[in-house]
Chains A and B, each alone.
Chain A
């Protein structure tokens, strides 16, 4: 799904929530998943202006989960460790932004190259 407008974000949230519900996530967890999607989309729009979000169902050894991949070809992040620290950005200092997404989800991976873009992959498993 391309992300470059408010409508795109709403569509991504809706798909995420629908997939989560279909997989049997609780309403609360589905809300947190929608929130993570919003934060990732917001990050794309703020730093790269446009990008993509894709959602997938994943299977673990004994459980099911949801995988969200947010990618953009924006300016990238020079120092990922710094970017993941609370307090690096205004939203981070409030516990929001990427550090916030990491806390909402079970798994979090980020890779980025300066001037190449950024890919964030997060997973949440059904409890």
Chain B
């Protein structure tokens, strides 16, 4: 590994040059050493965040360059065969990474399902169990109040008032966790309800404009609600926004929903590049939406706010309009 260590220690050669050099070596004389270089290049491409498409393009460029030099059909064929072998070798680290991503997505999907169940359970516990306990406290306090001398009754009244507030808050939290509105009236009223609470707590206006009517399948509505919820949380927690705008509309057969803020913004590419923890919220949103056939695009620039655009093809609407024709 001495030479590799030396290679790594030095400023790495320009990727494209190294690619052409290794590719040239393989097409000229074949051999495992050149394939090993292809593998090393693939690995390096991943750590340098080179996209799959960049590689494919570079590979084609290299082939074009060599085809010009090769003479005759036999040489062309040999070159193309070698190019295929070399590319496969270079892509094998991508295969490894890709399997890792698939595993991560499956784990995330499972986590989402578990979370949704857990949220339901907590919402129930907060609403029903804590609610019942509070009722018991009310009753016990009423008993005590009866025994109390008149001058303490006012204080007791204040305690009762505070308890009422606790109860109201708890009910509110429970509904935001898993709003019954979501099941009963749909995602738009649920988001309005959520936005009202968030806006009050964070003391920042959330402007909602909806040009979309009708209900969607339950899993779709839950996914949309969760994504908007996450977006609102992010805008409040990280963006230090002054305003948030939520819009939902229909663009032919596509449902669009945008969540925009005028906060700090961030470097999208840098966040996605760091992978793990920080970008997880965004990956979680993408995962939720892809499970229902939707996509999310994020646009953000430092100092110029952030916009999240959700797009979801409405298959039923499409099918109906097709059928009506």
A100 to B95, CA, bound (A): 9
**Docked complex Cα distance between A28 and B103 (Å):** 21
On chain A, the number of residues with a Cβ less than 8 Å from chain B's Cβ atoms is 32
Name the one of A11, A14, A95 contacting B101, with C-beta atoms under 8 angstroms: A95
Contact: A93 with B276, CB < 8 Å? yes
Rounded to whole angstroms, the CA-CA distance of A39 and B33 in the bound complex is 15
Known interface pairs A13-B36, A31-B88, A38-B39. Does A95 touch B96 (Cβ–Cβ under 8 Å)? Answer: yes
* Per-residue B-contact encoding for A20-59, CB less than 8 Å = 1, 0 else: 0000000110011011001100100100000000000000
| Contact of B99 with A95 in the complex, beta carbons under 8 Å | yes
A9 interfacial by beta-carbon distance below 8 Å: yes
A126 lies within 8 A of chain B by Cβ: no
Closest to A4 in B: B1
Given A28-B88, A94-B47, CB of A35 within 8 Å of CB of B96: yes
- Write out, one digit per residue, whether chain B residues 261-273 have a CB within 8 A of any chain A CB (1) or not (0): 0000000000000
Docked-complex contact B35 and A34, CB < 8 angstroms: yes
Q: Are B36 and A9 in contact (CB under 8 A)?
A: yes
The reply to whether A96 and B93 form a contact with Cβ atoms under 8 Å apart is yes
Interface of A is mostly: helix
**Interfacial chain B residues near A87, Cβ < 8 Å:** 275-276
- B99 & A86 in contact (Cβ 8 Å cutoff): no
B3 contacts A13, CB within 8 Å?
no
Q: Nearest Cβ in chain A — how far from B113, in angstroms?
A: 20
Write the nearest CB–CB distance from B275 to chain A, whole angstroms. 6
Interface residues of B in 233-258 (CB under 8 A from A): none
Interface residues of B in 66-111 (CB under 8 A from A): 85, 88-89, 92-93, 95-101, 103-104
B residues within 8 A CB of A32? Answer: 92, 95
Q: How does the 8 Å CB contact mask read for B13-41 relative to A, with 1 for contact and 0 for none?
A: 00000000000000000001101100110
User: How far is it, in angstroms, between the C-alpha of A96 and the C-alpha of B94 when the chains are bound?
Assistant: 9
Shortest beta-carbon distance from A75 to chain B in Å:
17
Interface size on B, residues (CB 8 A): 29
Q: Which of A31, A35, A38, A103 contacts B100 (CB 8 A)?
A: A103
B residues near A35, Cβ cutoff 8 Å: 39, 89, 92-93, 95-96
* B104/A86 in contact, CB under 8 A: yes
**Given the contacts A5-B1, A31-B89, A34-B89, A13 and B35 also touching, CB distance less than 8 Å:** yes
Tell me if A27 and B4 are in contact (CB < 8 A). Answer: no
In whole Å, how far is B94's beta carbon from the nearest beta carbon of chain A?
A: 9
A74 an interface residue at 8 Å Cβ cutoff? no
Q: Is A65 an interface residue (CB 8 A)?
A: no
Residue on B nearest A28 in the bound complex, by CB: B88
Residues of B contacting A94 in the complex (Cβ-Cβ under 8 angstroms): 46-47, 97, 100, 275
B43 CB contacts on chain A under 8 angstroms? 96
Could you tell me the distance between the alpha carbons of A38 and B98 in the complex, rounded to whole angstroms?
18
CA distance A38 to B3 in the complex (A): 15
- 6 closest Cβ contacts across the A-B interface? A95-B100, A95-B97, A14-B32, A100-B96, A45-B1, A103-B99
17 sampled A-B residue pairs with Cβ under 8 A: A6-B2, A6-B3, A6-B4, A13-B39, A34-B32, A45-B4, A86-B100, A86-B103, A90-B47, A91-B47, A94-B46, A94-B47, A94-B275, A100-B96, A100-B97, A101-B96, A103-B99
Given A5-B2, A96-B43, A100-B96, 5 additional A-B pairs, CB 8 A: A35-B39, A35-B96, A38-B36, A100-B97, A104-B96
Residue ranges of B at the interface with A (Cβ–Cβ < 8 Å): 1-4, 32-33, 35-36, 39-40, 43, 46-47, 85, 88-89, 92-93, 95-101, 103-104, 275-276
Binding site for B on A (CB under 8 A): 4-6, 9-11, 13-14, 17, 27-28, 31-32, 34-35, 38-39, 42, 45, 86-87, 90-91, 93-96, 99-101, 103-104
